[in-house]
A = this chain, B = another copy of it.
């Protein structure tokens, strides 16, 4: 299988962590798509790999393409049940999907919009339209999101409850992106900060290029 990838990118990092958690590294090759050159926005990439022009994208042996981190994670997770990243009961699946989506809306995607609209983003040749006011609002939303996830983590060890899951990976993606745009986790978010330190002790997380500096 091939993953179209930008190794330090927050979204590709989500799928990289999922692959490492599932111990599927030997079955996957990574192919670099240079975001800063806009290679994900070329007509060819959009027509042939992903209509939405985003990374990562998984390509199976027969050429089938699966885009979107949640979908790729769902695919890997259903291939092989252990460890489960998306839950094994209806309740777990519902909660994990909810919390992962919430982490996108309230944190990761919000920071992505801030990056592309409120900062130089990928540079003037890629960022052909920017709406800074929208970007700044999304930055503020992401800060509120950090406080929300801090509150969640005051009551449970992981984002979706008692076990590590896809929802933790999504929040990790959000905090990877926060570091790129220099958005600090507020010091009072002690539960979130402590959780992030625990996450960085996982081999699947700390071995990712996003964490090497």
Residues of A within 8 A of B (CB): 51-52, 58, 60, 64, 66-68, 70-72, 74-76, 78-79, 89-91, 93-98, 101-102, 105-106, 129, 131, 133-134, 137, 148
Contacts and interface: CB of A to CB of B under 8 A. Distances in A.
B64 A101 contact: no
22 contacts: A51-B102, A52-B105, A58-B94, A67-B98, A68-B102, A70-B97, A71-B94, A71-B95, A71-B101, A72-B94, A72-B98, A74-B90, A74-B93, A75-B90, A75-B91, A75-B94, A75-B97, A76-B90, A78-B89, A78-B90, A131-B137, A134-B134
Given A78-B89, A78-B90, A78-B94, 6 more contacts: A64-B95, A70-B70, A71-B93, A75-B94, A78-B93, A131-B137
A64 B148 CA distance: 18
Nearest to A60: B91
Contacts of A95: 64, 66, 71
A179 to B, nearest CB: 23
